[in-house]
Amino acid sequence: MITQKGQSIEDKSMEIIDSEIGSHPYSEDEWTIVKRIIHSTADFDFARANKIVFHKDAISSATDALQKGCNIITDVNGVIGGFNKDNMKKFGNQVICNISDAAVIEEAKKLNKTRAQTSMRLVARQMDHGVVAIGNAPTALTEVIQMIREGITSPALVIGIPVGFVCAVESKDELRTLDTPYITNIGRKGGSPCASAIVNALYKIIAKRST
């Protein structure tokens, strides 16, 4: 639970972001998400060259799924660290990250795949109708895309915002070709704080609608 002092700092930060960005092409709900990403990274580029891109059904699909208690699958524990856990408790959302599980490590070695790839493949059933939040590993994102194309899973939303130099850009480009709802960005930038911020912002949108 955020303190009054903490809330005042956050509110001031959001005012600064609004002031520095000025006009933008995002809808009100989209801007809630973009602004929270900027707040978590202090990087205004996410509203500019490395802009956030939304599937037309991304927000409606995700907020509906979250309110129904869907699973949230992440690629790394760092994404979980940025979540506001009170939100998950309210709706009964289970957060799943198995990248450090012994079974994942063993299977990855056997198949000569990354742990991130293998971790996604092993939770295909749990991510069905859930929210997938990938902020670190491009191979996790490419695996999820492949699984969707194979028809073995159908997430309500794929947050694909991995950071990096190898396959990060390409995986995001490929995600934008899917009909599955997604939120991603242009370019190499991204990271776990961005993925966490998107999920937290989706809960903010839910809360705003209920008032």
Q: Residue 31's domain is classified under what CATH number?
A: 3.40.50.10230
CB of 45 closer than 8 Å to CB of 161: no
Q: Looking at the predicted structure, is the pLDDT value of residue 101 above 80? A: yes
Q: Are strands 157-160 and 182-185 parallel, antiparallel or unpaired?
A: parallel
pLDDT band at 34 (very low <50, low <70, confident <90, very high): very high
Residue with the bigger pLDDT between 5 and 142: it is 142
Query: What mean pLDDT is predicted for residues 39-48?
Result: 92
Q: Looking at the predicted structure, is the pLDDT value of residue 6 above 90? A: no
pLDDT of residue 3: 76
Query: What mean pLDDT is predicted for residues 22-50?
Result: 92
Catalytic (active-site) positions: 39
Q: pLDDT tens digits, residue range 120-131?
A: 999 999 999 999
Which helix (H) or strand (E) element contains residue 130? Answer: none
Residue with the bigger pLDDT between 49 and 173: it is 173
Exposed, middle or buried by CB within 10 Å (0-12, 13-18, 19+), for 27?
exposed
pLDDT of residue 123: 94
**Which residues, 6+ apart, have CB-to-CB distance to 143 below 8 Å?**
116, 117, 120, 121
Query: What mean pLDDT is predicted for residues 50-63?
Result: 96
Q: Looking at the predicted structure, is the pLDDT value of residue 49 above 80? A: no
pLDDT of residue 5: 73
Query: Which of helix, strand or coil describes residue 160?
Result: strand
In whole numbers, what is the pLDDT of the chain averaged over residues? Answer: 93
Q: pLDDT tens digits, residue range 123-171?
A: 999 999 999 999 999 999 999 999 999 999 999 999 999 999 999 999 9
**Which residues, 6+ apart, have CB-to-CB distance to 199 below 8 Å?**
72, 79, 83, 87, 131, 133, 159
Q: What is the residue range of 170's domain?
A: 4-210
pLDDT band at 1 (very low <50, low <70, confident <90, very high): low
pLDDT of residue 74: 97
- Rounded Cα gap, residues 99 and 81, in angstroms: 15
Looking at residue 198, its amino acid is: I
Query: What mean pLDDT is predicted for residues 56-72?
Result: 98
- Rounded Cα gap, residues 184 and 161, in angstroms: 5
Give the chain's domain count.
1
pTM greater than the 0.85 cutoff: yes
